[in-house]
Amino acid sequence: MKFGKEFVSQIVPEWQEVYMNYNSLKSILKDMLKFKEQNESKAPVASTPKGSLKRRLTLYRAFSGLNGKQRGSSSTNEDEVILVRSEGSEDSKVLYQTMFLNPYEDGAERDLIFFRKLDVEFNKVNGFYKKMMKEVVEEAEELSKQINFLIALRIKVDKVVVRNLDSNENSSSTSILDHVNDAKHGHSNLHMDVIHEVEMSQSHLSDEDGNRVAQTNSNTNSIEGFRPAPLEILDHVKINVITPETPVSTIKGLLLNSKPDIEFNKKELRKADEQLSAALKEFYHKLRLLKRYSFLNLLAFSKIMKKYDKVTSRNASKDYLKMVDSSYVGSSDEVNRLLERVEHAFIKHFANGNHRKGMNILRPTAKRERHRKTFLLGLLTGCSIALFVALLILIHVRDIGKNKEETDRYMKTIFPLYSLFGYIVLHMIMYSANTYFWRRFKINYPFIFGFKEGTELGYREVFLLSTGLAVLSLAAVLSNLNMQIDERTKSFKAITESVPLGLVMVVVVITICPFNIVYKSSRFFLIKCAFRAICSPLYKVIFPDNFLADQLTSQVQTFRSLQFYVYYYFYGDFKKRSNKFTQEDNYKIFYIIVAIIPFWIRFLQCLRRLLLEERNKMHGLNGLKYISTMVALSMRTIDQFYSDVAANKTTTEFNVSNTKGLIVWKILAASSSGIATVVNTYWDIVIDWGLLRRNSKNPWLRDKLSVPYKSVYFLAMVLNVILRLAWMQSVLGIKEAPFLHTSALTAVVACLEILRRGIWNFFRLENEHLNNVGNYRAFKSVPLPFNYQIDDDEDSSDT
């Protein structure tokens, strides 16, 4: 792989704007090469007079701002091509500027453009790296204090009896900022057994001033020479109250309207331990990304300068790379030092000194692509296609559709049972396509969803699951396709009629299976998000819960299929394929309720974010949008019921009053659906996708686009509008289509909504990703467990 492609593939997506623009510099070099080849292809030109050459070089040197006096020497080294100097800007940042000493006679403008662009890119990289390092050093200092507080809390909670040692000995502490080369100065055993010290009543802490001085004897494994810092530091430490994460704690917080009392006990110690462990892991991940950032950019500057030397036949890379090596990004070893200190502290305090365990937690092993997965994917895809073709051939050979009465019974009873799996499989296929395009266009979906590193499913895994479910579903359909009724009992076989229910049970069992099979971490992540979405007003709303609830709003027909399952197998006579329960009033009521459940969940999420969390009015407007959708859906469903009644009655039975009622409900359904469609379409395109910005760099789109083809965005907007108008099928009374039964037409409309949701998913996550890019947000925010406070009395006395 060429370096340019490898460079792009390894960048941190959220930092892509602060990486060196390698392709831009490379394009300048290509122009220089073309210019050079064109000049070489021309006829030889007469030699230039020395006086003319001297005058031209003088002009270029004057343009670059250099002369003999500025260089401090009247003579110039013939091999010296450039001179790089540093300047301090107003905001105390060091900026580097390249000056030319020996440019070409022809094409010097391109050299000037190249080095100006190169300086801009390097200053950008160096400035960002320096800024980030300042932040991580401050964060490391805070984490050091947090670890010391944790050690003190462990001593207090465990009620360790600490033996006072020589008072003249210096107190010790655990600090991530300690130098990594302590072993060279006789401190090889420094803090190696901190956890054991707490358990063995031999602990050490930092004093209140945060001094971190530790002495130990490298020739002994004992801990003599240490004395613990006073535990009075805990008098100034408070455990931060974390936002309630359970329904019970949320209800208590709302009813009591008071903060819970925090005590130093084992429960709080365990919470603090978990929080600090998560914070250290995230901090370690940040350091690794910074290390990769500096390495990739330094390598890119080295590569581009070598290309410049090759194109221009100069030797400028030596001087420029010397400056790069002496700069902050090239010479700072702070990242490596902090990485070693974090590893050391994490292994001691959170892995019981087990190096392998600690490193496995800090550095999860990357997923390996296995040929077995590819083989199974191809096998199941082929099997699903073969089963689908076999199903079509079997229907044609048996001429199953010749008996209209039996076909109608099958489509109204068995087809809704199996269409459930069709909706799920299609949604999984769309999600698989989304993951493929997210990766292709560098959209960091694992970070946005909050997947644990190395556990996210790629498009291969999701497509493998969808094809597996498709094979099971199609095999079940084939086994249940025989519609021959027993003439003696006037019923069907119980075994074949129970196949759909058995398939549902198999899917449910696999989903909740506690064993580490079929991507357990992803299954449990889905279950957790679903549970939090159901209990949305009682849980803090996070992006995965929000996103999943949006997916459910496009699976209305799936919820109705589940309702059909319950009535069909528990309230109906499934052996006779009876669906008389669909005419009952309680079925119709629940038919409306189950359809609006996903929208109600989203409304509650918006309400919580409006009242308890962000308090942004936009969430209130979003909640009204879902209310409008619930009203429109209810109106359409009631209109559908009235239309079915009218279709089943004769003209004489359906009187004038019923006709007026039908017209009224149809008007209500059309008007409410039209309003909901306009509101939802506007919200999709403008708010969720961030498009239709009039003054953006890309007219009527947005400033930043992940997909290079602008037509894709306009096409997506048009498709979103068209697919959102699928509700007109029911309002206009289109019950059947050529070669399609009413149930089949309903399934097609439901599939169109799933396709629309799949398109929405890509652009919704793209917009979220670009918001992260704009804020350089590449890390999760992990709350710290402790808060150090000084009493007001002490502050006043000090003043």
Whether residues 160 and 245 fall in one domain = yes
Residue 551: predicted pLDDT: 96
Mean per-residue pLDDT for 30-44? Answer: 73
Pair 97, 84: CB distance under 8 Å: yes
Checking 333-338 for CB contacts under 8 A at 24+ apart, the result is 334/133, 334/136, 334/137, 335/133, 335/136, 335/287, 335/290, 335/291, 335/294, 336/180, 336/291, 337/179, 337/180, 338/136, 338/137, 338/140, 338/176, 338/177, 338/287
Residue 161 has pLDDT above 50, yes or no: no
Q: Could you identify the residue written with the tokens 């819960």?
A: 545
In a domain, 797, yes or no: no
Residue 725: CB partners within 8 Å, gap ≥ 6? Answer: 677
Instruction: Copy the structure tokens of residue 647.
Output: 């279709």
Pair 777, 543: CB distance under 8 Å: no
Residue 472: predicted pLDDT: 95
Provide φ and ψ at 452, rounded to 5°. -65, 140
Residue 742 has pLDDT above 50, yes or no: yes
Residue 178: CB partners within 8 Å, gap ≥ 6? Answer: 190, 212, 214, 341
Q: What are the strands, taking DSSP E only, across 373-496?
A: none
Using one digit for the tens of pLDDT, what is the confidence trace for 329-362?
988 889 999 999 999 999 988 888 888 888 888 8
Q: What are the strands, taking DSSP E only, across 180-247?
A: 237-239
Instruction: Copy the structure tokens of residue 283.
Output: 């901090």
In a domain, 799, yes or no: no
Instruction: Copy the structure tokens of residue 385.
Output: 């296609």
Whether residues 380 and 351 fall in one domain = no
Residue 381 has pLDDT above 70, yes or no: yes
Residue 70 has pLDDT above 50, yes or no: no
> What's the whole-model pTM score?
0.81
Closest CA to 27 of 301, 294, 308, 296: 308
Proportion of the chain above pLDDT 90, given as a percent: 39
In a domain, 695, yes or no: yes
Instruction: Copy the structure tokens of residue 279.
Output: 């914070």
In a domain, 47, yes or no: no
Closest CA to 205 of 166, 174, 236, 165: 174
Residue 65 has pLDDT above 60, yes or no: no
Reduced to 3 states (helix: H, G, I; strand: E, B; else coil), residue 107 is coil
Reduced to 3 states (helix: H, G, I; strand: E, B; else coil), residue 701 is strand
Q: Could you identify the residue written with the tokens 């799996």?
A: 421
Whether residues 484 and 335 fall in one domain = no
Residue 198 pLDDT class (50, 70, 90 cuts): very low
Run of H or E residues at 97: strand 94-100
Residue 171 has pLDDT above 70, yes or no: no
Using one digit for the tens of pLDDT, what is the confidence trace for 754-798?
999 999 999 999 999 999 887 778 778 788 888 876 554 444 444
Between 59-68, 234-243, 651-660, the lowest mean confidence (pLDDT) is in: 59-68
Residue 496 has pLDDT above 60, yes or no: yes
Using one digit for the tens of pLDDT, what is the confidence trace for 514-554?
998 899 999 999 999 999 999 988 888 999 999 999 999 99
Residues spanned by the domain of 563: 374-774
Whether residues 588 and 609 fall in one domain = yes
Whether residues 236 and 264 fall in one domain = yes
**Looking at the DSSP assignment, which residues form a beta bridge with residue 84?**
98
Residue 167 pLDDT class (50, 70, 90 cuts): very low
Half-sphere exposure of 247 (CA within 13 A, CB side): 7
Whether residues 294 and 420 fall in one domain = no
Between 160-169, 259-268, 610-619, 697-706, the lowest mean confidence (pLDDT) is in: 160-169
Whether residues 172 and 264 fall in one domain = yes
**Across the chain, what does the average pLDDT equal?**
79
Residue 500 pLDDT class (50, 70, 90 cuts): very high
**Looking at the DSSP assignment, which residues form a beta bridge with residue 292?**
none
Give me Rg for the CA atoms of the chain.
35
Provide φ and ψ at 88, rounded to 5°. -90, 125
Residue 489 pLDDT class (50, 70, 90 cuts): low
Residue 657 pLDDT class (50, 70, 90 cuts): low
How many folded domains does the chain comprise?
2
**Residue ending a domain, choose from 364, 397, 413:** 364
In a domain, 50, yes or no: no
**Looking at the DSSP assignment, which residues form a beta bridge with residue 82?**
100
Whether residues 188 and 259 fall in one domain = yes
Closest CA to 230 of 191, 204, 202: 204
Residue 678: CB partners within 8 Å, gap ≥ 6? Answer: none
Provide φ and ψ at 115, rounded to 5°. -75, -30
Provide φ and ψ at 93, rounded to 5°. -90, 145
Task: Report the alpha-carbon distance of residue 328 to residue 127 in Å, rounded.
Answer: 9
Runs of H (alpha helix) within 399-444: 404-440
Q: Which residue has the higher pLDDT, 215 or 174?
A: 174
Q: Which residue has the higher pLDDT, 548 or 30?
A: 548
Instruction: Copy the structure tokens of residue 104.
Output: 């070409």
> How many other CB atoms are there within 10 angstroms of residue 732's CB atom?
10
Between 200-214, 501-515, 552-566, the lowest mean confidence (pLDDT) is in: 200-214
Using one digit for the tens of pLDDT, what is the confidence trace for 91-128?
456 778 776 665 555 556 777 888 889 999 999 999 99
Residue 726 has pLDDT above 60, yes or no: yes
Instruction: Copy the structure tokens of residue 459.
Output: 């498009």
**Looking at the DSSP assignment, which residues form a beta bridge with residue 740?**
737
Q: Which residue has the higher pLDDT, 262 or 536?
A: 536
Q: Which residue has the higher pLDDT, 583 or 593?
A: 593
Reduced to 3 states (helix: H, G, I; strand: E, B; else coil), residue 1 is coil
**Residue ending a domain, choose from 307, 331, 364:** 364
**Residue ending a domain, choose from 324, 346, 364:** 364
Mean per-residue pLDDT for 178-192? Answer: 37
Query: Which span out of 144-148, 346-350, 415-419 was modeled with the highest average pLDDT?
Result: 415-419
Between 236-250, 613-627, 670-684, the lowest mean confidence (pLDDT) is in: 236-250
Residue 72: predicted pLDDT: 38
Whether residues 733 and 584 fall in one domain = yes
Residue 293: predicted pLDDT: 93
Phi and psi based region of residue 572 (left: phi greater than 0; alpha: psi -120 to 50; beta: remaining)? beta
Residue 197: predicted pLDDT: 41
The length of the chain is: 799
Residue 205 has pLDDT above 60, yes or no: no
Residue 368 has pLDDT above 80, yes or no: no
Reduced to 3 states (helix: H, G, I; strand: E, B; else coil), residue 312 is helix
Read off the amino acid at residue 19: Y
Mean per-residue pLDDT for 76-84? Answer: 60
In a domain, 51, yes or no: no
DSSP category for residue 123: H
Reduced to 3 states (helix: H, G, I; strand: E, B; else coil), residue 213 is coil
Task: Report the alpha-carbon distance of residue 456 to residue 465 in Å, rounded.
Answer: 14
Residue 469: predicted pLDDT: 96
Task: Report the alpha-carbon distance of residue 750 to residue 744 in Å, rounded.
Answer: 10
Whether residues 537 and 636 fall in one domain = yes
Whether residues 315 and 449 fall in one domain = no
Provide φ and ψ at 218, rounded to 5°. -70, -10
Task: Report the alpha-carbon distance of residue 289 to residue 301 in Å, rounded.
Answer: 18
Task: Report the alpha-carbon distance of residue 359 to residue 344 in Å, rounded.
Answer: 10
Whether residues 192 and 312 fall in one domain = yes
Provide φ and ψ at 486, rounded to 5°. -75, 115
Residue 574: CB partners within 8 Å, gap ≥ 6? Answer: 413, 497, 498, 568
Residue 102: predicted pLDDT: 59
Q: Could you identify the residue written with the tokens 């914070």?
A: 279
Task: Report the alpha-carbon distance of residue 522 to residue 99 in Å, rounded.
Answer: 55
Provide φ and ψ at 243, rounded to 5°. -55, 135
Q: Could you identify the residue written with the tokens 């040929």?
A: 371
Task: Report the alpha-carbon distance of residue 735 to residue 729 in Å, rounded.
Answer: 8
Run of H or E residues at 6: helix 3-9
In a domain, 192, yes or no: yes
In a domain, 369, yes or no: no
